Amino acid sequence: MSFSIIKATQEHIPVIVPLLDAYRVFYKQTSDESAAEQFLKARFEQNDSVIFMAMSDQKAAGFVQLYSSFSTVSLQAVYILNDLYVSPDFRNKGVGAALLKHAQQFCKIQGYKGLALETSVDNPAQALYERLGWKKDVHCFHYFWTAR
């Protein structure tokens, strides 16, 4: 199977929406393509994320979304790899690895320190992350406070 990685633009929103919706459903959220579309429109309008898509025969196979942040300790910019999703029809075909490698290369080109991600403890993609050089952080805990 051949596929290419492209940087998504606002014109790609209709193609990304079903993937983003499926990604959210994977994480036990209610399907809502309209809300997914509005969310993507806001990301592009505010220019606060970068999305790369894997395309195979003009069909979206998966996507990765990066958000820019900073490390005060190292005084460097970092990317948060917030979302990675591969459509079930394209899994185990190298799409996820290609998206991750593309994100890594993009990070290097931009001069950023690196990429951070978090994933559920039972996500089988952990083996892929580790194979591609990601290191599990065992030195600190991650906490989250919910406002509502």
Task: Report pLDDT digits (tens) over 46-95.
Answer: 999 999 999 998 899 999 999 999 999 999 999 999 999 999 999 999 99
The residue count of the chain comes to 148
Strand partners, 30: none
- CA atoms of 88 and 78, how far apart (whole Å): 29
The CA distances from residue 85 to 5, 45, 92, in Å, are 13, 22, 12
What global pTM score does this model have?
Answer: 0.91
Which of 23-37, 43-57, 107-121, 129-143 is the least confident region? 129-143
Domains of the chain: 4-131 (3.40.630.30)
Q: What is the pLDDT of residue 103?
A: 97
With b meaning 16 or more CB within 10 Å and e meaning fewer, what string describes 94-103? ebbebbbebb
